[in-house]
Structures are given as C-alpha cells and as structure tokens.
Structure 1
Amino acid sequence: MPRVLVISLNYRTAEMTLRSAQAALRALQGLEAELVIVDNASGDGSYEKMKAALAAKDWARGAPIRLIGSDHNGGFGAGNNIGIHAGWSDGSRPDYVYLLNSDAFPAPGAIRALVAHLEAHPEAGLAGSYLHGEDGEAHMTAFRFPSIASEFEGAARFGPVSRLLRRKAVPMPVPAGTQRVDWLAGASLMIRQAVLAEIGLFDETFFLYFEETELCHRAARAGYQTHYVRDSEVMHIGSVSTGMKRWTRIPTFWLDSRWHYFSKTHGRGYAVLATLSHACGGLLWRLRRVIQRKPAADPAHFLRDLISHDLRALFRPAARRAVPAGTGGAEANAERL
C-alpha cells in the first residue's frame, strides 16, 4: 500500500488547524499515512495550544500525528518544505506528499481518491481536489500558467478581450470532471515524492503566492502532468492566514512573487513584457471605469505599485536559487504526540 505524508501548515489559526487535522485523520482511515502539523513561527502561542490539545483530545491520542515548530516564518513554501523534509516518522520517505491548508477540510474519500488517481496515472506528478466553500459553491482552483496574454486579459476586464483570449486566461471554468490542467491551488494538493526528489521542493524565494504555480511549471518541464480530480472533494474557507480578502494595498511579497515567477520561468525580458502587458490592460480598465463609472476592482494604487516595483526589480541582482533538494533531514524541532 502506498504511504502518504500529510502536511498541514499553521500560522496563527490553531483551532482551525486542529479541526482540519481531525477531518484529515478521518479521511486517512484505511490508508497508510502520517500527519505532520508545522507551526510556521506563529508567535501567538499556537504551537503550545496545539501541543496541549493534541495531548488531550481523544481523537488525537495514538493517532499518527506529529507537531513541528519552526523558529522562522519563511512563507508557505518554506513551511511545507519543513514538513516534507521531516518525512516519515521512521526517517524514510513516503510515496506521496499531500499538502492540506489549515482551513481545508477533506471529505472522507477525498485523500483516497487522489492516491487512487496517481496510482492509476503514472504520467501525473501532481493531483488536486475539487474545492468548495462552506456554502457549497465551487471554488476556482484549476488554472493555466500566467503569460503575457493572460496579464493583459486579466487586467483589462473587458468582455471582447476575454472572449478573444479565453484560452489564455489564468482561471479556468470549474472542470466538470477529472482532467489535466497547468496548475492547481495548493490547498489540497498531492505530489509524488519521486517527482520532488527529481525537481526539488518549493522555491523558498517565494514568500506567498506563485509558489505552487512555479512548482507545477517545473514539474511540467520535467515531463510530469498536473491533474484535477473531481472525485476528491474538500471544503475550503480560503485566505484565513493571509488576510487577502482584507487587503487595501497590494503587499510587496505578492509583487516580489509575481516578478520572480515570470523572471525565473521565462527570463527578465519576458517579465518586463508581462508587466507592460498588464499596464496596458490596466489602463484600458481605468479608462472604462471613468467612462462607465465602474467601481474599483484592485487595491489602491495597484498599477502604480506594480510598475514601480518591477522597475526596481529589473535593476536588482537576480534572486539566488532557493530550491531545496527533494531529500534531507528536518531542520526543525519535531515532536511525536
């Protein structure tokens, strides 16, 4: 039976993380699996709260669950890398790594469906779930890789442009069934350990956003597909740790990640063209806003922040490679509970 390592990354959402872990353990019944919770240097007592709860809760006693405390918050990718490096409790490697957001709750058969799909489809290196909100509404989690064309389409927000570039738009309509996609949201994502051993782990240059996009892109270049598995259903709240829904100004880390993605995957010249494309689309949208009196759709000063950021980034030295190898020991304090 294939072995699965489930990684749940916590940042100041201790109670929700525990609820998600409980749902994951239910979904793992009948599978050979272990669950690792990584506290990403929350600094709010989350580690202590979870440690006490896992020692006291009936559902956690004797369960294959470990808690790891990181002393540094390096972001989403770095936190998950800690869990991946921790590996199986006996020091060996699993067959599959399953990333589960702390605000995601897998249905009883969700994880098993991902394992079964990857077992049946050796061409797939990654597989992810159908995500829906608390209200049952489907979330957009299947995407195309970002491009110069998609930057213009997304920024312009103009029906004729979107229809013309519909096959370039990053968000895909929610697939009706299982299919190949470019990349998937990392809220419920299973990855072959053999793929990680070959291409490396998450690039820790990314703090938040674009890290799973780049990982799927790297896998695709190595010949591995990413599949959306409709039979794997997960309830996802979304943006709990990042606060994205409350942004009033675009964070620098989002701009850093976007620039790093384009410059790493296509080169700096392409990154510049992507930004120019976004600026042209953004100016078209702003003209329509004035004429048609449409409400704002971006955080304040977004276009100005994007252009000024990328101009500075263009003349900075390129980021050094920060992709850990796919094997190694944990560099954090782990505790079996």
Structure 2
Amino acid sequence: MMSDPRLLVVLLNYRTPQMTLRAAKAALADMPETAELVIVDNASGDGSMGIFEQALADWDLGARVRLILSGRNGGFGAGCNIGLAEQMSDGSAPDFFYLLNSDAFPDPGCIATLLDHMTRHPRAGFAASHVRGEDDLPHTTAFRFPSIAGEFEGAVRFGPVSRLLAHAIVAPPLPEKTTQVDWAAGASVMIRAATLEEIGRFDETFFLYFEETDLMKRGARAGWSCWYVPEARVVHIGSVSTGMKEWQRMPAYWFASRRHYFIKTHGRAYAAAAWGARLTGSALHALRCALTGRNPQDPAFFTRDLARHGLGLRSGSGRATARRPVSEDRT
C-alpha cells in the first residue's frame, strides 16, 4: 500500500470567485496536511484573479495553495488539464489528483475516503463521490457508457422499452454501496496520476460535456477501473458557471461533444446509428406527448437541432441561448 501519497487538488474557476473560494475552504479543511491545492482561472476576465490573490494573502498558506491564470477559455477539459499538468510545490510528481467543482463542497472525510479507496485498489483509475444538492437530494452521477440502445431508451422514455433495455440505461439507479461503474461525473473525483500518464489527460476537443465519459472510456480500455464511492460525500449546487438551469435550448457544443464522443469511441457508422436511435426516440417521445397531452421532457427545438447537427448543419442553438463557460457541472 502506498504510504503518504502526494495529492494535488484542482479547482477550476469561471466567473464564480466567491463560490470557488467557498469550495477551496471546504477542500482545505478536508485535505491531508501534505496535500496541495491549485486554483485555475479559466480566463474569466471578471477580476477573479484579484479576488483570489487577496484571499490567499489573507489565508497565508504559502505554497500549499497556488493560482494559475489560463490564457484562454478552452472549456472544462482544457482548464482542468492545466491543473493536471502541475507538480507539487517541491517539484515532485503527484500520485493522485482530486478534481473538485467550484460549486462543490466536501463533507468531512470525503477526500480521505476516496484516497483510501484508491490506495487499496491499485488498478482503480478513478473514484467518484456521492453528490447531493443543498436540498439533500442525491444527484445522478454514476453511469454506463452511452450506446445505441442507451440512446434510444433515454430518448423514448417509455416504461416497456426501458424494461427491455434495462442493461443499456445510461443513468441507472445510484448504487447504495461502493461499486465499479463505467464512468462518473467529475464534480468530485479522485484520479490516479499513473492512469493519466498512460491514457493522457482530457481531450480538449470537448468544450463541455462528454469529456469525463471519454476519459474514463479510455481508462477502461487500458484496464483502469472507475468506482462510485457513496461514503465519500459532497454537496453540489450545480450549473453555476454554465448557467445550465437557465437554458431554454441545448447549446451547439453539447451536440458537437456528443457527436465527437461517438465518432472517436466507436467510429462514424456507429455514431450515425446512435444519432438515428436518439433522433427516433426523441421523435417518438414528442409524438406520445402530443397524443396524451403531456409536456415533452426535451428542451425546445431539441429534436430539430439534433437532426440538423447530425446532418452536419449548424443547429443555431449556440447563439442567444448558450453561455460560454466553463468550470463545471452538467448534472
């Protein structure tokens, strides 16, 4: 078992400096004494760095906390990669990285629980927390990898279909015990440095969405496991930097990320079939809602935008309705 592992905590900020400082305080209170924290500002351009510099001067923690300003906002993965490329303050390489969203706050013992799990499972590449909202309701953060069947099931939203395709449901019920899963959301996740050395960091083609799915898929293909550890708990507000709760229409980069994931992971033929399955399921869902008088669960223009994007046409959803983030969540 690894003794005194070197841990670097990575916080990504985009225009939420006070929230990020709250997350940093929660992380510092839960981190081992030897762990360090790096805050990456994702080219906020709103004075965040000045706020951080003043706060850190007041905290007077020396090399235990440092700031990095990104030269551009390349998205969630690109911002995280800046932190994941860092070393410890003494120049040594971290053994583990802990990614924490800027609006997520670890409970006491969360980080130690994840770290302990990783040290006891040498082939664990990722270990993710139980995530709950401020209302104490759990967030769905443990998933199966997307598939053609999973795309259809998730889009059609029809009980008999879901029972038939239960094995493919992307977001199954959360496990009650520590369980190996396909992938997990990155709001609070421990990552083994050796895993990144083998498979690489986040693919920066993804501006937002599907970047964790891709990273953990690459890890799985290389023999690294991903775990959901419900004993490690965080409170997560969600969608603060992205403004997702205010969206009236899915942004273009969601469709672009989805398409890139399927093409990269499975090839163009599979990606086309997955697109067709999602499109068909969404259309059937809309038809059933029209016939029964129910409100559709898809955002406005979703089926139209999905169809246009699948044909290589601009969806138009990236203009007035999408904000350019990004530091976190998507749950």
Give the TM-score of the pair, scaled to structure 1.
0.90
The answer on whether the counterparts of 1:155 and 1:285 sit within 8 Å (CA) in structure 2 is: yes
The answer on whether the counterparts of 1:144 and 1:182 sit within 8 Å (CA) in structure 2 is: yes
Q: Which moved more, 1:303-312 or 1:12-21?
A: 303-312
Q: Could you say what secondary structure the match of 1:285 adopts? A: helix
Deviation at 1:137, TM superposition (A): 1.1
Q: Which moved more, 1:299-308 or 1:254-263?
A: 299-308
What letter matches 2:20 in structure 1?
T
Residue matched to 1:334: none
Residue matched to 1:24: 27
CA-to-aligned-CA distance 1:253-291 (integer Å, 9 cap, x gap)? 111100000000000111100010011111110111111
Deviation at 1:31, TM superposition (A): 4.2
Residue matched to 1:323: none
What letter matches 1:3 in structure 2?
R
Residue matched to 1:176: 176
Residue matched to 2:5: 2
What does 1:87-236 correspond to in 2, within 5 Å? 87-236=87-236
Deviation at 1:192, TM superposition (A): 0.5
Deviation at 1:167, TM superposition (A): 1.6
Residue matched to 1:310: 310
The answer on whether the counterparts of 1:178 and 1:230 sit within 8 Å (CA) in structure 2 is: yes
Residue matched to 2:286: 286
4+ long deviations beyond 3 Å: 60-63
Q: Which moved more, 1:260-269 or 1:299-308?
A: 299-308
Alignment length (residue pairs) = 311
Matches of 1:277 and 1:211 in 2, distance apart?
Answer: 22
The answer on whether the counterparts of 1:3 and 1:31 sit within 8 Å (CA) in structure 2 is: no
Matches of 1:101 and 1:2 in 2, distance apart?
Answer: 22
Deviation at 1:231, TM superposition (A): 1.2
CA-to-aligned-CA distance 1:205-224 (integer Å, 9 cap, x gap)? 00000000000000000011
What letter matches 2:13 in structure 1?
N
Matches of 1:260 and 1:225 in 2, distance apart?
Answer: 23
Residue matched to 2:326: none
Matches of 1:236 and 1:115 in 2, distance apart?
Answer: 20
Residue of structure 2 aligned with 1:55, choices 42, 45, 57: 57
Matches of 1:174 and 1:31 in 2, distance apart?
Answer: 32
Q: Could you say what secondary structure the match of 1:86 adopts? A: coil
Taking only aligned residues, the RMSD between alpha carbons, in angstroms, comes to: 1.3
Matches of 1:278 and 1:310 in 2, distance apart?
Answer: 10
What letter matches 1:5 in structure 2?
L
Deviation at 1:92, TM superposition (A): 2.3
Structure 2 unaligned residues grouped into runs of 5+: 315-331
Residue matched to 1:72: 72
Deviation at 1:95, TM superposition (A): 0.3
Structure 1 unaligned residues grouped into runs of 5+: 315-337
Matches of 1:225 and 1:158 in 2, distance apart?
Answer: 31
CA-to-aligned-CA distance 1:173-226 (integer Å, 9 cap, x gap)? 111010000000000011100010010000000000000000000000001110
What does 1:37-52 correspond to in 2, within 5 Å? 37-52=39-54
